[in-house]
Amino acid sequence: MRLKTPPAGASWTHTGARTGFEVAFFEDPDTGHRLSGHTTASESAALWSVGYDVTVDRLWRTVAVRASNLTSAGEGKLTLTRDPEGRWTANGEQRPDLDGCCDVDFESSAVTNTLPLHRLDFTEGVGVDVPAAFVRADDLRVQRLEQRYTLIEADREQILFHYESSTFDFACDLRYDLSGLIVEYPGIAIRER
């Protein structure tokens, strides 16, 4: 499955679990790729806004993450790094619980689900475990996210994956465009542009 280069920008309406809007921008510098964006939403009784800047290498492995949020509790900031040996730090603190993770995944975002699609070769019907460093929206807390992607089909118009997370006991089918960006994430987000 060969993906097209992501567009310069994209946007999603977040629905179901929360109500909100996300915009993301993509750059392709010589050293890797950069995803930056912002999501502002209302979820249950909570209001939050999360900004992110994710740098990945040429193989789409996360290298550095800067994030900030704004909630009723105030402002928060997070810096995540992943070294070439796969060791993570969060705000300068070693995080061995994240060993084996190549991706960051933001609770607040539909865009970070593109990272494993660009990085891995998938075979139809074969599930691939893709653990990630998961960043919570309300407090930027980082935890390990166990997840699995199974390619259902890829045609000339879309790519369909079955997604499972044992961490959250959650499963759904994710529909992507040919650049690997979510078109429909049931109960979470719908692509607008």
What is the residue extent of each domain of the chain? 9-191
CB atoms within 10 A of CB 52: 25
Condensed to tens digits (0 to 9), the pLDDT of residues 89-122 reads 999 999 999 999 999 999 999 999 999 999 999 9
Query: What is the pTM for the complete model shown?
Result: 0.96
Q: Closest Cα to residue 120, out of 147, 143, 92?
A: 147
Dihedral angle sign, alpha carbons of residues 101, 11, 7, 64: negative
Parallel, antiparallel, or unpaired: how do β-strands 9-14 and 147-154 relate?
Answer: unpaired
Q: For all residues of the chain together, what is the average pLDDT? A: 96
Condensed to tens digits (0 to 9), the pLDDT of residues 148-172 reads 999 999 999 999 999 999 999 999 9
